[in-house]
Structure 1
Amino acid sequence: MRCQICGYEEAERRCPRCGRWACRHDWAGEHCAACEATLCRICRQNFSISTCIVCGRPVCEKCSVRRGLGRICINCLGASN
C-alpha cells in the first residue's frame, strides 16, 4: 500500500487519529504529518480550528477565545491582561 499523504513511498504505519496510511517520511512522532500540521500548538491534543490573530499559531476551540471575526490563543490573551 502506498502512503496516503505523498502517494509515492510504501506506507508503514496507520495514523491513530485519522486512519491514513503513512510512509516513514510522512510520520511525525505519534501521528501522520498531516495530523501533526493541524494540531493545536497549545494543547497538542485537539485539531486546530483557526489561527491566533496575535501570534499566528494554529489553535483549537478549547485553547482560544473568539475576538471579533478571529480567535486569540489563551497564551496571548494572558499576556495582554
Structure 2
Amino acid sequence: MAVAKCRLCGREVCRKHLGGRGYCVVCEDLMCRVCGERLSVTSCVYCGKLVCRECSIEVEPGIRACLDCYVRYGGKRFKTRT
C-alpha cells in the first residue's frame, strides 16, 4: 500500500522506497551526479556519469559530456563506448 508521494515525479510509493529528500528510489537513481538536483538526461561520453542538461554540453548531436570532462578534454574526439 502506497503511503508516501515522491516530491519530484509525484509517484505514490511506500515509505521504504522514499529517500531522505522525499524522492522515490527511481528518481534518486536517475538524479544528475553533478548537481544532484535534476533528473539526468544521459551519461557523459567520457566518464559515464549521469548528467542533466544544465550540467552537460552537447559535443556532437545527441552526445553530451559533463562540464568537468568537457573542460578536461576540451571537447576533443572521444572514444565511443560499446
Runs of 4+ in structure 1 deviating by more than 6 angstroms, as ranges, are none
Task: Give the one of 14, 32, 38 matched to 2:5.
Answer: 14
- The alignment's C-alpha RMSD in Å is 1.4
Percentage of identical aligned residues:
35
TM-score, normalised to structure 1, is: 0.77
Q: Does 1:67 align with 2:59?
A: yes
Ranges in structure 2 where 5+ consecutive residues have no aligned partner: 75-82
Ranges in structure 1 where 5+ consecutive residues have no aligned partner: 1-9
TM-score, normalised to structure 2, is: 0.76
**Aligned residue pair count:** 72
Q: Distance in 2 between matches of 1:43 and 1:57?
A: 11
Q: Does 1:57 align with 2:49?
A: yes
Secondary structure class of the residue paired with 1:28: coil
Which residue does 1:27 correspond to in 2?
A: 18
